[in-house]
Chains A and B, each alone.
Chain A
Amino acid sequence: DVKVTQSSRYLVKRTGEKVFLECVQDMDHENMFWYRQDPGLGLRLIYFSYDVKMKEKGDIPEGYSVSREKKERFSLILESASTNQTSMYLCASSSRGTGLSITDTQYFGPGTRLTVL
C-alpha cells in the first residue's frame, strides 16, 4: 500500500513564526502536492512538484514556499505564519501519468491541522 506520512497531526504556532510541514512518501512517486482544506472551500492546491528540485505554483501559493531536495520528501514552508494560514494541510503524491493526458491517482497523507495564534 502507498503510504504518505506527514510530520505532525496537530501544530500550534504564533504569528510571525517560520513553520515547516514535512511530507514523506514511500512509493517512489514523481509527483507531490500540498493542499490546504478549509470549510466551504474544499481542497486548494498550494504548490506541487513533479521532480526533485522542481516546483510549480498552484492556485494559492502566496505566503508559502516549498522544497523538494529528495524524491520522497516534500516540505511546505510558511516563512512568517499568519492567522489566515490556520487550516488543514494535506500532502499527496502520485506517479507520473502514462500518457500526455492521463493522471494517476493521488494518495493523501492524514493531514496536519495548523493553528496560528
Chain B
Amino acid sequence: GESVGLHLPTLSVQEGDNSIINCAYSNSASDYFIWYKQESGKGPQFIIDIRSNMDKRQGQRVTVLLNKTVKHLSLQIAATQPGDSAVYFCAENSHLGGNGGSQGNLIFGKGTKLSVKP
C-alpha cells in the first residue's frame, strides 16, 4: 500500500544551527503535504503545508521543499532553538471515502525526533 516514511528517526543539532528533516512518500498522486510538530504530551501542531504545484514554501523560520521527481519532502528549520525540540511528522493526503471526493484524510509518517543541544 501507499506509505509515508522518514529517512532519519532522530536528529540532534546544536542551538543556532539549521535543521533538515526529510520525508519520502510513495503515492505519486498525492498533491498536498503537511508538516506537523508534536511536543511531548501534546497533540500535533500544524507547521506548514505545500501543494504539489509548488516546489518551495517558506514560513517564519521554516521552509518546506517538495521534489516530486523523487517523491521527497523536507522541512528546514533555520537557527534552531531549544523550543524546536519535538517530534516532526510529515503527512500526505489520501483519498479514502466512498463518495468519490477527498474526505480530508491524511497518511502520517512515524516521525523524526529533533533534539536541540544548548
Contact = CB atoms under 8 A, between A and B. Distances in A.
B93 interface: yes
Contacts of B97: 50, 56
B103 A56 contact: yes
Given A42-B109, A105-B46, A31 B101 contact: no
B96 interface: yes
A31 B103 contact: yes
Interface string B83-118: 000000100010111111111111011110000000
A50 B103 contact: yes
A58 B94 CA distance: 11
Contacts of B49: 105
A112 to B, nearest CB: 10
A40 B5 CA distance: 12
Contacts of A96: 102, 104
Interface residues of A, number: 31
Nearest to A29: B104
B102 A41 contact: no
Nearest to A105: B46
Interface string A5-37: 000000000000000000000000011010000
A111 B42 contact: yes
A50 B98 CA distance: 11
A100 B110 CA distance: 27
Given A43-B89, A56-B98, A110 B105 contact: no
Contacts of A67: none
A95 B111 CA distance: 24
Interface of B: 29, 31-32, 34, 36, 41-46, 49, 51, 89, 93, 95-106, 108-111
Interface of A: 4, 30-31, 33, 40-43, 45, 48, 50, 56, 58, 90, 94-97, 99-111
16 contacts: A31-B104, A45-B105, A48-B103, A50-B97, A56-B97, A56-B98, A101-B32, A101-B102, A102-B32, A103-B105, A104-B104, A105-B49, A106-B34, A106-B104, A108-B36, A111-B41
